[in-house]
Amino acid sequence: MPVITFKYQDLKDLGINIKKDELIDTLPMMSSDIEDFDDEEIKVEFFPNRPDNLSVEGVARSFKGFIGQEIGLPNYEVTPSGEFVVVDEQVAKIRPYIAFAKIEGVDFKGDKLKYIMDFQENLHWVIGRDRKKVAIGIHNADVVNAPYKYIATAKDENEFIPLEKSSTMTPYEILTKHEKGVDYAHLIEDFDKYPLILDKDNQILSMPPIINGELTKLKEDTANIIVDVTGTDEKAVNQTLNIICSSFAEVGGKIKSMEVRYVDKSIVSPDLSPQIKNVHVDVTNKLIGGTDLNAEEIHKLLLKTRFDAEIINENELKVFIPSYRIDILHEVDIVENIAVQYRINNVVAKLPNVNTVAHENDWIKSENTIREVMIGLGFQEIMSLMLTNEKAHYTNMLQKEEDHVQVSRPITIDRTMIRTSLINSLMEFLEDNKHEDLPQKIFEIGDVLYLDESKENKVRTSKKLAGLICHSTANFTEIKSVVTSTVSNLGYSMEISDSENPSFISGRASDLKGDSKNSSIRGFFGEISPEVISNFNLEYPVIAFEIEFIS
């Protein structure tokens, strides 16, 4: 999870005068964990659903509400700058959306410049999917002139000096020679042209999502800035800009809006208008449990969470949610914030008023049988997370990327989606344990998730079993024998056919299907492709199978 570091003095400078011990005791009640602290600094880990708390200004804002020092919706004034950016229609194929804002009267003295850089990178991880979805640029506004242009340029045109360099480079040279360019080239290298942001005089501010220009580098004496946010998701782009602008406004930054002119529309950013949702008293008490809050009490708690609220009647309130609170998607999210302000430790535990006789879940019985069969065949069980990432799940396995469930605000870049297969998790386990003796025989029983429009929640959970064997002479005959024994011991018939699964060696893989009295199975097995083995940094042959249970 994102960790931010700040000094106790920073909170004092922001108007919070609190003893260190009290601060340490209070912060965990605000959905955070204390990673480390000493006499001067504290490291705090905030949950990824609260990117607004990834700056010391955001922490101070939330903390003031929690202790009742400042309550209600923060009011940030936004005045027009009269400036605009023109978006070239050719850039739509690469990174189609951009949001701009100007902020005057900023202060980067002392540690503040480092803080904003850390804040920017944390937002890249939490919202931006390591810059794929959203990328942020912060520039010295006093060295460039409006209006601005967001264009797509050829690979060898528009040379500029990238950040921390002393000589000019073409966009293509940046992608192939600059350390940041090499790290993030995969985001745009498949396109014929690359995005650039230029000013009126064709001075280059940045090459999003790769690198800013040295021209607009921030310094301690920088007083006015331009913030650009580009990306592939318009909503995420604007939400990110709102979070950044709100953070600067907390320390006196004056927000100036800018117009973004697309070919077919014009948008003014940032828009810091509050979101409006309703919350119900009975729903609140039911979801929290152990409370008997009334509308007045809920109103006071909502003000402490830095929302505004109006009581409509004794069972309903209208809630005004600040633009930087991008985690509020449903009434349940509002109730969660009420519970945090009420303080979870104050909720009285109660036994449910239900009389039932428990019995073991049918799948758990089946799972235990599967486990016994696999252990009997000499396999060792592992348990991995359902979360994985597109590179490991698709690219490394030579699979074509399909529609899948994505994590809205991933904790880390290697946990951005929910798996549809178990194989890559097993391969990663082998990679982490390649120092162990061979042969290695591992299996996993786990859930996967598919998108399914026919379901109420648009997803379908499926149960799978997968196994891997790694040693110097692993081959198709061995894995076929394992699969045959497994399927037979579980009471299924089995039919096999040739497989075209790209993760396996052509001609050395099979698809399978089978039936029993109550359910059916489908899956595949074979010898893993040498390219896949290399992608996971393994050195010996790997054979694998995966079986899906269909009720």
Helix runs in 138-196, H state only:
171-177, 179-184
Residue 341 Cα distances to 266, 314, 418, 519, angstroms: 40, 20, 32, 48
327 is in an annotated binding site: yes
β-pair partners for 276: 320
Say which amino acid occupies 110: G
Angle at 126 between CA 125 and CA 132, to 5 degrees: 55
201 is in an annotated binding site: no
β-pair partners for 442: 380, 468
Helix runs in 14-128, H state only:
20-26, 56-66, 112-126
310 is in an annotated binding site: no
82 in Cβ contact with 72 (< 8 Å): no
37 in Cβ contact with 19 (< 8 Å): no
Query: Which three-class secondary structure string do you get for 394-431?
Result: HHCCCCCCCCCCECCCCCCCCCCEECCCCHHHHHHHHH
Euclidean distance between CA atoms 493 and 170, whole angstroms: 61
Residues 6+ apart with CB under 8 A from 136: 120, 123, 124, 128, 227, 228, 229, 240, 244
Residues 6+ apart with CB under 8 A from 197: 85, 98, 137, 148, 149, 150, 151, 204, 205, 206, 207, 208, 228, 230
Say which amino acid occupies 236: A
Euclidean distance between CA atoms 53 and 55, whole angstroms: 5
Euclidean distance between CA atoms 156 and 230, whole angstroms: 22
121 is in an annotated binding site: no
Q: Which residue positions form the known binding site for Mg(2+)?
A: 327, 333, 336-337
Q: Which residue positions form the known binding site?
A: 327, 333, 336-337
